[in-house]
Structure 1
Amino acid sequence: MPSPTRNVDDFLIREIVLTHDPDDQQQLDPDLLLTLVEAIFSCMTENPTDFDQDTFFDYDLSASEEPVCRTIYKVSNEMLARCIGGEDLHRSTIQILEVLGPFRWDAKMVVALASFTHSYGVFWLVLQMQSENALSHLLAVVRRIPSTVTFMRPRFKALNLLVGTILRLTRLLISYESWSAMHEMVDNQDREMTRSKICLACYWICRSLLVCFSQIADLRNFSLEQVCSDRAVVAAWGLYSLGNKLSCLCNDLGECIDTCQQQIERRLYEKLLHVFEEKGDSQKALCAFFSWQDEFPFKDCSSKKIGILELKSKTVLLLITKPDLLPLDKAYFLVQQTTGAEDCVVLWVPVPSTNGWSSAAKTSFEFFSSRVPWLSVRRPWSLHPAVVSFFRQEWGLGDDPVLVVLNKDGLVSNTNAMDMVWIWGPRAFPFTSEREKELWEQANWTVGLLVDGISPLLSQWIEQDRNLCIYGSDNIDWIRNFSQKIKKIRALGFDLEAVYVGCKNPGENVRSIIHTIDQEDLSSSITFTSIDFFWFRLETLERSIGQQGQAGRCDEIAARVGELLDSGSKDGWGVIGKGWSKDVVMLEQGVLEQGLEALHMWRGNETVTGLAGALRAALEGPGDGRGCRHDEVVEYEEGLAEKTKICGQCRVPMEKFVVYKCEA
């Protein structure tokens, strides 16, 4: 047989439900408004919390048919009038719920709470400033606000504890209602039980706020003797009793919501696992991840709201990172590498490494999202835990960022295109695994591959097909000696530009060397940031090749890049080549100096062999070539007499002889 309490609750719930008449025109961000209320309330307590004033400066309280600020003012007056009028508390609560009828359940409570906080905040502001400000003193007289709170502390303590419980209960309501689109994933019985608890929570929150209003109204008419009377003690205990009731309701509702959230998380994860099984449109996948709470889940750098429909028929790159994105230099380099691809949109999805978002993480997100030319998830802290779990478990999200590619058919064409974007930039479009394989099949061991995109100066010289010698060392004496040899080579007429690229894991010593090179005009150099990018690019090249798992032409590149990374901490090394030419010479300290010393004997041959070939001949050839007796016979072809043939052994131009052969 149902208990009498259950029957009373059922009757009360039916009465509460009759007041609920939601209106889609009443748009309100309950989470942000509650955060504003919490900030106001914290300023009235003994332990105020820090908050960013700019967070609320542009908060729009008029984003509905009737401005929310007007509703807050109206509800505040309604509550205060019913307290002063001494009306029946239950009837007054139902009437307040009727005023709040057009709002969702979570929005009702936030508006009611904001209405009380508005009046309570003004009360405290006048109370605290009346001894320091003439206007506050006069307002205190008009509002009959007492001049001291010394004897009121027990009542204020009870009232503040009650409001704190209301805040926690309201936060629970918001957490559940924010996923209203997912409630169908919850079992009917659990969903109905939770809905009943929410109705009761709304009722008792409104009823408790009416009692809080009456306490403030009562204080205005108290003398100091009355404050210490039995009436004051009874009032304080009444507040404590309400606080206990709401605290129990908070625990019960929390358990119900936890049960619902577990079901939602499990079923949403299963849905995400199957969302990429069939071709369709990227909108289907984006909806599954981001549109459960908001019709416009994204924003651009100007904070304009963007809907999923605007991404239709586009390749979407999901850039999933920490809230602080990347160090500034790498962040802007990534912007450079993702700019220029047609029908392609970068969507930044920041995810914290911990379970919550700190104010510092939110500030970092706002800073970057307003400066990068990408779309961003507008409220990333509202991502469902199942979505974050999917990112971590299915797409391998860890400390490093990942770049997941959704093609126009809504399928994942690459679970992490980050390395190919770092290396190839827009040329990697459409950023598929097949495209990455194709790029590596076309790649060659060249100076251009090593330095492409890391510095405007180097990019210019690469395009001009200049002979470059990129060199590194952390020994300034060796650099001075090496630079003198380069200058001697250039004085002989060789076209050669030497560029300092530092050493692996560059530190302050490299900064000092860059300064010395510039001051003494030893050679060209790139910025410290570009040096960091150079070594970062080498590591990315090595990692990308390793992930390809291919034998063949990539083996030489992998071996050479590995040698360079190993040479990064040695005393001196250099790589000489021209633009995208495959003829490249990489030498370490002693051999490099030896080759440069001998290069003068091969002046003139570089027009035929290239500078790298002339250097190789200087190192491998037998002096002036008189010790080489190698010969080759080739068949005659048109223009052969004007061509130069290079010896396959000593690497110098060969002498021409004509041989006649009779076939009779």
Structure 2
Amino acid sequence: MELSSGFYGRSNPHMLSTSGGKAMGKLIEATHEPAGVEINMKPVLDIVEDIFERATPAAPGAIMQVDASESDERALHYSSLEQMMDVLSATINRISCEITYRLSIGEDAHSTTLAVAQIVKGYSWDAKIVLALAAFAMTYGEFLLVVQLYATNPLAKDVALLKQLPEILTRADLLKPKFDILANLINAMVVVAKCTVEFKGLPSKYIRPEDPELSSANADIPSAVYWTIRSTVICSSQIMGLINMGHEFLSSTTDAWELSSLTHNINSIYNDLVEKLNRCRQRINERKDIEAFETLVRLFDAIHIDNMKILKALIYAKDDQPPLWDGTTKQRVSIELLRRRSVLLLISDLEISEKELIILEQIYNESRVQPTRIESQYEVIWIPIVDRSTTFDDTKRKQFESLQAMMPWYSVGHPSMIQPAVMRYIKEVWGFNKKPLLVVLDPQGRVANPNAMPMMFIWGSMAFPFSKLREEALWKEETWRIELLADSIDPSIINWLTDRKFICLYGGEDMNWIRKFTTTAKAVAKTANIELEMLYVGKSNPRERVRRNMTNIELENLSHTLSDISLIWFFWVRLESMWHSRAQHGVTVRNDLIMQEILTMLGFDGSDQGWAVISRGADEMARAKAETFLKSLEEYTAWEAAAAEKGFIPALNDHFRSLRTEHHCNRLTLPGISVAEIGSIKDTVVCVDCGKPMEALLMFRCCTD
């Protein structure tokens, strides 16, 4: 029987339109009579996809090499399918025979498609597509086996002769373009099949048929089934055309438009389905994250015998690799090493400052010098918070690895180990918002302190176990003195205190004032016969001007400077930490001397002037802004007698008070305060000069110096 290249019928352009496609979907939907039997079609689809991949037409007679281990793995996979194929093979053979018969009698593709739909009417939507693809895969695979083996295998050669294939097999130049077009359509069908199988496998616990994302997809799947089955019919007709018409069919181009149109249509269906599948995945992930967040909340509310459940919930271990990176040994290690240990979670993004890390590293390393001390019984884990809405590209990877390399403590092996629900918990419950936190977990995994960073900066490891009770106890032991203000920033201060020397800390950026002040202070000290040591502590967020000042002060031998500019940053961040710590315990300027002095120092830093504070021993201290302090020193002769009688610092304080006027303008910058927090603290922040509540203003700053 002679077949024309158009025996399977041309596609009506209206059928390929959106409205036409939906109409075809309605026809398929009318045949759908599910029997209620659920079958996992993914293993069958894997076999079908494998057939299409292996059946790629090469040069006739070329032998395909198969890796032995891959062959063994597939044999194991196939053996697990035997029971399923006992159920499905009859249906697959019936579809193949139905398509072959109807095409052989010249029936059009549309009627043949509906006939196949009747055969699979009792199956689920994904099964309909996979079974139709499997039927075509048999036809396609059998044909390509002959193509690949006929030149070297006598049996294949005999079969090729009976099918009248030798003529077309000698024309590889015409065979390959034909199969390239066919392969595009096959690939499009396979990805649509994968989509429908994945829709079937979506967890009903997290997404329901009535959800808009899934209901929209379910409305389009019947149309996808129709066009995929129709495409298998068209592809089968192509193989039959090659067998029956040979060279004449190879040279024909009348079917190219048909195949290209179908491929375009199937690809459009896939693009639409995959977009809806992604929306379903997004909805599923959202619900999973909500469930994981609620589980985490319950977990922290529960009582545990150790910290393992909490740590494993916070750090997701994947690929069976140890989840932690040991910054000392530079190796992956198990989280079990931290069982029943106090653990400090250093939470930050990838923008954590190097200065902060240097100070924390110094404190951490000091605690490791004597590991048996009670103050050393804690570990630190870095928890990096990385926005998942942006790609973790090579730049971010290098940034993460660079920070990780600076840390002697533990860190997670990769930022992806911190799941979205954990990030939400860290932000909503612990209040993380860019500024690094140091969350303390006790040996049972309970939160002992939601942020021990201020304690760590103020007292270092002496604050162990970093609990609120320990914080209260440490403050009860403190008074406002030079040791609290500065003894941790320079080891020389301890020696000066021991020698009962006068200690002067000063700051600001005006180099001219610095020269006048230090020169005058030295002269007054010589006249008053006191031993005076001066130390420059610059300004918070020290930049190039402060760095230049430090260099000039050293070159001109004006006073001492700190060994590193990061210590200037640390001096000011300690003061800010003192304010945060005191404020958390309900202390205000009105009822606390230490809070008054902290805010005075922070106010000095917020002004455009320099400033200085001078102290001797535990209970003598005087401080003032640049002009007041310098003028008082220049007028030393006016209070020299009082200094001899009362002492240098009490007399200096008296002179400061004599120079005070009603007019004043104090500015105070409190870093780390959110807009939401301003309303709750503004009534507690009062001016240190007049005691009136200070006006709250919102400041944005970009300072490149």
- How does the TM-score come out when normalised to structure 2? 0.56
1:321 is matched with which residue? Answer: 348
Change (3 A) 1:263 1:229: same
- Pick from 82, 93, 97: which aligns with 2:55? 82
What is the alpha-carbon distance in structure 1 between the residues aligned to residue 350 and residue 186 of structure 2?
34
Alpha-carbon distance in 1 for matches of 2:548, 2:252: 74
Q: Per the alignment, in what secondary structure is the counterpart of residue 436 of structure 1? A: helix
Distance 1:15 1:163, change over 3 A: closer
Q: Does 1:497 align with 2:533?
A: yes
State the alpha-carbon separation in 1 of the partners of residues 73 and 271 from structure 2.
21
Does 1:257 find its partner at 2:276?
Answer: no
Distance in 1 between residues matched to 2:36 and 2:264, nearest whole Å: 22
**Counterpart residue type for residue 332 of structure 1:** I
**Residue 336 of structure 2 corresponds to residue 309 of structure 1:** yes
CA contact 2:346–2:438 (8 Å) conserved in 1: yes
Q: Structure 2: 5+ residue runs without aligned partners?
A: 1-27, 61-65, 79-171, 219-223, 236-249, 368-374, 656-705
Pairs within 5 Å for 1:290-369: 290-291=315-316, 293=318, 295=320, 296-301=322-327, 304-324=331-351, 326-339=352-365, 340=367, 341-352=375-386, 355-359=389-393, 360-369=395-404
Distance 1:164 1:467 in 2: 84
Deviations 1:542-586 (A, max 9, x none): 2222222137998111111211222232534221224x7232222
Residue 346 of structure 2 contacts residue 436 of structure 2 at CA under 8 Å; is this kept in 1?
Answer: yes
1:582 to 608, 619, 632: 619
- Structure 2 vs 1, CA of residues 237 and 547 (structure 1 numbering), >3 Å: closer, same or farther? same
2:475 corresponds to 1:440: yes
8 Å CA contact 1:572, 1:588 repeated in 2: yes
Q: Spell out the pairing of 1:381-400 with structure 2 (5 A cutoff).
A: 381-400=416-435
CA–CA distance in structure 2, aligned partners of residues 78 and 549 of structure 1: 73
Alignment of 1:83-162 (within 5 A): 83-84=56-57, 98=74, 101=77
Residues 364-389 of structure 1 show CA distances to partners (whole Å, capped at 9, x for unaligned) of: 21221122112222232353322222
C-alpha contact 1:489 1:600 (8 A) present in aligned 2: no
SS at match of 2:56: helix
- Provide the residue aligned with 2:550 in structure 1: 514
SS of 2:614 mapped into structure 1: strand
Match of 1:533 in 2: 570
Per-residue Cα deviation, 1:569-622 (whole angstroms, up to 9, x for no partner): 2534221224x723222234455343586489979x99x99xxx433246659x
Q: CA deviation at 1:327?
A: 1.5
Return closer, same or farther for 1:291/1:591 CA change in 2, 3 Å cut-off. closer
1:63-103 residue CA offsets vs partner (Å, 9 max, x unmatched): xxxxxxxxxxxx999875432489xxxxx9x999946949x
Alignment of 1:494-643 (within 5 A): 494-504=530-540, 506-526=542-562, 527-550=564-587, 555-568=592-605, 569-578=607-616, 581-589=618-626, 591-593=628-630, 594-595=632-633, 598=636, 613-617=647-651, 620=654
Q: Report if the CA contact (8 A) 1:391-1:397 is conserved.
A: yes
Aligned 8 A contact 2:404 2:411 in 1: yes
Structure number, greater radius of gyration = 2
- State TM-score, norm by structure 1: 0.59
User: Tell me, what secondary structure is at the counterpart of 1:485?
Assistant: helix
Q: Are residues 495 and 504 of structure 1, via their aligned partners in 2, closer, same or farther at CA, if it must alter by over 3 Å?
A: same
State the alpha-carbon separation in 1 of the partners of residues 622 and 357 from structure 2: 33
Quick check: 1:414–1:432 contact (8 Å CA) kept in 2?
yes
Distance in 1, matches of 2:51 and 2:488, equals: 66
Q: 1:371 to 1:619 in 2, by over 3 A?
A: closer
Amino acid at match of 2:55: R
In structure 2, the CA distance between the partners of 1:233 and 1:81, relative to structure 1 (3 Å rule), is same
Quote the Cα distance in structure 1 between the aligned partners of 2:269 and 2:445: 50
Q: 1:197-346 counterparts in 2 under 5 A?
A: 229=253, 239-240=263-264, 243-244=267-268, 246-251=270-275, 253-280=277-304, 281-291=306-316, 293=318, 295=320, 296-301=322-327, 304-324=331-351, 326-339=352-365, 340=367, 341-346=375-380
On the 8 A contact 2:454/2:574 being kept in 1, the answer is: no
Structure 1: gaps spanning 5 or more residues:
21-74, 87-91, 103-144, 178-182, 212-225, 622-664
CA positional deviation for 1:161: 10
Aligned residue for 2:63? none
Distance in 2 (CA, whole Å) between partners of 1:570 and 1:334 is: 30
Work out the number of aligned pairs and report it. Answer: 480
The answer to whether the 8 Å contact 1:599/1:618 transfers is no
Q: 1:484 to 1:292 in 2, by over 3 A?
A: closer
What's the RMSD between the two structures over aligned residues? 5.4
Which of 458, 461, 479 lines up with 1:426 in the alignment?
Answer: 461
Q: Is the 8 A contact 1:350 1:380 kept in 2?
A: yes
**SS of equivalent residue, structure 2 residue 379:** strand
Q: Letter of the aligned partner of 2:314 in structure 1? A: F
**Aligned partners of 2:569, 2:257: CA distance in 1, in Å?**
69
CA 1:11–1:469 in structure 2 vs 1: closer, same or farther (change >3 Å)? Answer: closer
Name the amino acid aligned to 1:336: Q
Counterparts of 1:95 and 1:4, CA distance in 2: 40
Whole-Å separation in 1 of the counterparts to 2:506 and 2:452: 30
C-alpha contact 1:595 1:615 (8 A) present in aligned 2: no
- In structure 1, the partner of 2:504 is 469
Identity %: 25
